[in-house]
Structure 1
Amino acid sequence: MRLLIASDAWHPQVNGVVRSLEHMASAGRSLGFDPVFLTHQDFPSLPLPGYREIRLAYATRRKLAARVAAIAPTHVHIATEGTVGYAARRYCLAHERPFTTSYHTRFPEYLAARAPVPQSWSYAWLRRFHGAGSGTMVSTSSLERELSGRGFTNLMRWTRGVDTDLFRPQDSDALAGLPRPIFLFVGRLAVEKNVAAFLGLDLPGTKVVVGDGPDRQRLEALAPQARFLGTRTGADLARIYAAADAFVFPSLTDTFGIVLLEALACGLPVAAYPVTGPLDVLSETGAGVLGADLRQAALSALAIPRERCREEALRYTWAESARQFYTNVELAHQRGALRKRAAKRPAAGMVELG
């Protein structure tokens, strides 16, 4: 079976959506699927103003149809609601093809942080976007409840994983020489990540920020005493996690937060607000501290045993994540096919002519 995955989030972006999709692709063949990506790289594109890392693709109907024909998919998954995702959705509806979607990003909150657009308008558009599919994948139970309360239907659970061989406790001198304790943030430097809340905390030791984005210059000016290391990945990133003393996750809008699992896998305790994502990953685990007072949560996290954090991370595997993902794809495809046949079946009491 060949799965077309349409996504606006793709390289050179470094984020949880891209990492999740990469892991799903690598696991596809062992589960009977051949995943093929449709991204901004397949079309002419322009950088998003103020956020050049994100590309806006110009996917015309003709070019998209040609690309889909070349891929010849048996199943379709639309990962994002951007220009590529919207074009793929339009194609599927025009050709009566069932498809799944996934809800990765709190777009209404992100948009409201940048422009005076009511969240109710954005959620209405997203409800319509995802409602046209045969299933919408969400990462946590709290997000599922929230979206269900907003009128989203056909919600399916798709958890996330972590590479516990790469991200592991280890002796590391990656942050040698910095005053301790070392409080770490890893993620995109954009307004919706609420990094300024972390940088504004009155904490001892050193604040370290890993990542890049459109908000970096403002954040560096806001906290000149913090250490900004730029984007780090792979073993380099794992060594940084292992060398820190606590991970601070100030986001109020993430739907999951793969960095939470990466930190825990390296034995790094987490401090976060009690919101979707941290609540689902950390609540009652003893591997992190959740609280409205992020400073106190960060200080309290220092007392958590690192082995407890590692133990919690081992519960999350990319193998289980992939199993859920591809099971959802197949079940939703079957659901969509049944719905299509039912729509074409003559109504009771009517006779087909011809």
Structure 2
Amino acid sequence: MLPYSHASCYTSYGRTELVAGSDLDPQRLQEFGDKWGVEALYADYEEMLAKENLDIVSITTSWGHDHAAIAPVVAASGVKGIFCEKPIATSMAEADHIVKTVQDNGVVFACAYFRRWRPYYHALRDAIANGTIGDLLTITAFGVGTLMHGGTHYADLMSFLAGEPEPAWAFGRIEPPPEGATGWSAEIDPPGSGYIEMKNGVRLILDGVSKGPISFVIAGSGGQLVVHNDGRDATLWRPPDDGGRWWVSEPFPLPPQDRSPPLKIVEDIVSCMDNGGKPLNDEENSARAMELCIALHASHNAGGKRVAFPLADRDLSVDTW
């Protein structure tokens, strides 16, 4: 659903105007300027921050280590809002620094974990909170893949669906790269699986070996929601009214996407700038998504032992594209 790129969202939304851009690649920078009619183009983003009176800055560089380097500088520059690609960093030490700098400077921060702005996941969260499946027990994600690039998306969503409980401990396994895999995904951000117990007793389970579009089984004391195709289809399973052994199913209706998630993020940032409050995925949520997945690496590195939250090793670093 369009608009989807950061630039197209700023040009589509009536409250924002795209006025400047920065890129180390001169050709790509000029193509950006030509496409969007932007004349204030900079090779050095710090020069852009110093010369342009910017309200919101998007950080759209590819690598996590670049997000970690750029975000604190932008947060301390006087801007009011930041829209950052994920993950926000490579280690919890970097993430902690971003959280502190954002909060010290009163910046509205949102990270591009888009599923928090999808209405069908809100419908599922509401159903869980309203007791449709009884007391929530576990959320299992299938098709997680690489932990930092993809897994942080799903760990963040699972935390959102569960009502943002605090994590207690986790154990995990880093999976061997798929046969024939090459490039960054095989070398620095491999698939991973793990088990995370929250302080309220809810369990989050990430399956990094199964294939197909991301799917979830959300299990409660009185039923299950089985969600396929990344939230496009859902089925509710519950015990029969007559007390029989076999559960019965029915389609669980989900609302359609009305506007693109990145556009809704821009709207959310502007609303928070106007009225206060936090976006659906703020600096603390985005740091938490990282910590849930880095914990699985920490457990694997310790021979599969259980690791506690907050993670003791704040310098353990896992990069991703």
TM-score interval, smaller chain: 0.3 to 0.5
Return the structure number with greater strand share.
2
Return the structure number with greater helix share.
1
Tell me the TM-score normalised to structure 1 length. 0.33
